[in-house]
Amino acid sequence: MAEMEPVIGLEIHAQLNTATKLFCSCPTEAVLDATAPADSPPEDRPNSRVCEVCTGQPGALPRTNARAVELAATAGLALGCRVNEYSVFSRKNYFYPDLPAGFQTSQLDPPICEGGGLAITDGEGREKRIRLNRIHLEDDAGKCVHDDQRGRTLVDLNRAGTPLIEIVTEPDFRSSGEVMEFLKKLHNILVHLEVTKGRLEEGEFRCDVNISLRPRGVEKLGTRSEIKNLNSFRHAGQAIEYEIVRQGGLYDQGATLVQETRLFDPARQETRSLRSKEDAHDYRYFPQPDLPPVHVSPGALARLKAAMPELPEQAEARLLALGLTEEQAAVFLDRRGAVAYFDQARPLLGDDRRLAALMVELLLPACQRDGLSPLECRVPPAALAALGKLMADNTLSRRAAYDLFPELFEKGGDPGELARSKGVLQISDTGAISDMAAEIIAANPGEARKYREGQEKILSFFVGQLMKKSKGAANPKLAGEVLSKLLKS
Ligand code: ADP
Ligand code: MG
Ligand code: ZN
């Protein structure tokens, strides 16, 4: 049997970060009960956040949430898609108890965004672009709660009508590693842009994996299975590995595969068949007559583009160009607010590498420990820049600066004053050092002669004397320079 190659395409659902649902003003999150004690978590009583629209009652008129449209367009801009000026909502008809209207409101043709892509690194370390097919807006369904003990099923519609985007890729992946890298990167971008809160455990970012095998070199796609609702990057990878083996085994036996929908069971590390797959026409899509087309005007699109923050990849490239190491850049991107802090402190210190080192070695670990963004802590950019300046002009040794930092972080204030009050400032005043140097040379004529006769090593004796005389406060480098100059004269 020819060697088989996996072909994988993804459909990713991301819950949009809006306060209200896609077509009504019901909240997307549990609301705090005003009568509950202040510290109690918001209780999400079933069917407490519903109205006639999100429960699909006849005659109720939906209205499109403008913020959801903006967030979908922002995602499209970030991923290099074409954002359509007009797109259309369609009804995707099917029956399920948690879908009271009898249809999901989704977009078939045209969707809000088309094309685009995202680059990842493939197995051989080469850059590989994953093409996107489309991004469309749709609403989420409710939830069936099965009560096995009493043998009944309850329906909770709190989630019904929550805005989602579905991102559909082309079948461009060839391994589980590529899929996991793509998912992490996509998640990173959408969370960074605040398009989604992206809480995986809440199902706010979940994906369906479509996977088939084909003999290497053959163009035509094989029969796929679709593994639904994976809300962990690792599980997505594990489900793919399992499917490669399962489908490969069937081909080896000469079996014919059927297109089907499967579920992954993390406990057993296997996928199981749920149903054979419906084709798109089974849904009888038709334009939703209750909603006007989604409109993103050129002006609105330009405003969204202008308001878009730097993407993680652009920030990384910029940090590397400023001389940061890859490790430092990775730490910066991993910590909320680090890049913004860095950008504010840069002009104040004027030494990007020193600033990055201070942040990575001192500031960010302390913030991490206390769960703070650097811009929220007691060391504002100006104070860290001041600390860096004291080090740059040798007024504060690196050692002293690092010793001082925990107190600065805890109490705030001016680093110069703190250093002075601790008596750890170095004497970098050439005049003061010269006076001491002259006295020491006068008191040690024998050693001075030896130095002049060529025993240059004796300089360290003089530096030691000067450090002693200054009670350790002199800047040793400067002391050496001044002493050697005086000894030679
Ligand atoms: P549906 O919406 O019915 O699941 P789509 O045609 O929209 O189907 O495809 C969904 C995803 O499945 C896309 O990412 C697509 O690239 C991928 N896909 C389609 N056919 C195959 C196949 N034979 N093998 C692997 N992936 C596939
Ligand atoms: Mg699908
Ligand atoms: Zn509602």
Is residue 169 lining ligand 1, measured as CB closer than 6 Å? Answer: yes
Best CA proximity match to 193, nearest among 14, 25, 13, 376: 14
The total of other beta-carbon atoms located within 10 Å of residue 65's CB is 23
For the Cβ of 257 lying below 6 angstroms from any atom of ligand 1, the answer is: no
How high is the pLDDT of residue 281? Answer: 59
Q: What distance in Å separates the CA atoms of residue 315 and residue 487, rounded to the nearest whole number?
A: 52
Domains by residue range for the chain, with CATH: 4-295 (no CATH), 310-422 (no CATH), 430-488 (1.10.10.410)
CA 221 to ligand 1: nearest atom: 23
Quick check: bond before 289 cis, omega within 30? Answer: no
Tell me, using a 6 A CB cutoff, whether residue 247 lines ligand 1. no
> Tokens 């519609």 correspond to what residue?
157
Residue type, 479: A
Distance CA 408, CA 415 (A): 7
**Which atom of ligand 1 is least distant from the CA of 211?**
25
**Ligand 1 pocket check for 9: Cβ under 6 Å:** yes
Q: Whose CA is nearest to atom 17 of ligand 1?
A: 9
CA–centroid distance, 28 to ligand 3, in Å, is: 9
**Ligand 3 centroid – CA 159 distance (Å):** 10
Residue 371, sorted as left (phi over 0), alpha (psi -120 to 50) or beta, turns out to be: left
- Ligand 1 center to 248 CA (angstroms): 19
pLDDT value for 448 = 92
Separation between Cα atoms, residue 315 and residue 6, nearest integer Å: 34
Evaluate: CB of 10 within 6 angstroms of ligand 1.
yes
- The answer, yes or no, to whether any atom of ligand 1 lies below 6 A from the CB of 13, is no
| 35 CA → ligand 3 middle, Å | 23
Pairwise CA distance, residues 265 & 242, whole Å: 11
Ligand 3 centroid, distance to 27 Cα (angstroms): 8
Ligand nearest to the CA of 213: 1
Please state the φ and ψ torsions of residue 224, each to the nearest 5 degrees.
Answer: -100, 160
Pocket test for ligand 1, best of 183, 210, 257 (most atoms within 8 A of CB): 210
* Rg, Å, the chain Cα set: 32
Report the C-alpha gap between 166 and 186 in whole angstroms: 12
CA 361 to CA 399: how far, in whole Å? 13
Of 281, 284, 295, the residue nearest 88 (C-alpha): 295
DSSP state of 84: P
| Dist. CA 87–CA 70, nearest whole Å | 13
DSSP 361: I
SS3 content of the chain, % helix, strand, coil (to 5): 40, 20, 40
Instruction: Kindly list the averaged pLDDT for each block of 10 residues, start to end, along the chain of length 489.
Output: 90 98 96 75 88 96 98 97 98 94 96 97 88 98 93 96 98 97 94 91 96 96 96 97 97 93 95 76 89 98 93 91 95 87 97 97 94 92 96 87 95 94 81 89 92 90 89 83 89
Let me know: does 322 contact 352? Beta carbons within 8 Å. yes
pLDDT of residue 39: 73
The CB of 260 under 6 Å from ligand 1? The reply is: no
- Ligand 2 geometric centre to CA of 282 (Å): 13
Nearest-CA residue for ligand 1 atom 11 is 9
130 lines ligand 1 (CB under 6 A): no
In degrees, rounded to 5, the angle at the alpha carbon of residue 440 between the alpha carbons of residues 438 and 444 is: 120
Q: How many CA atoms lie within 13 A of 453 on its CB side?
A: 6
Q: Which atom of ligand 1 is nearest to the CA of 172?
A: 16
Q: Which atom of ligand 1 is nearest the CA belonging to 169?
A: 14
Contact 162, 139 (CB under 8 A): yes
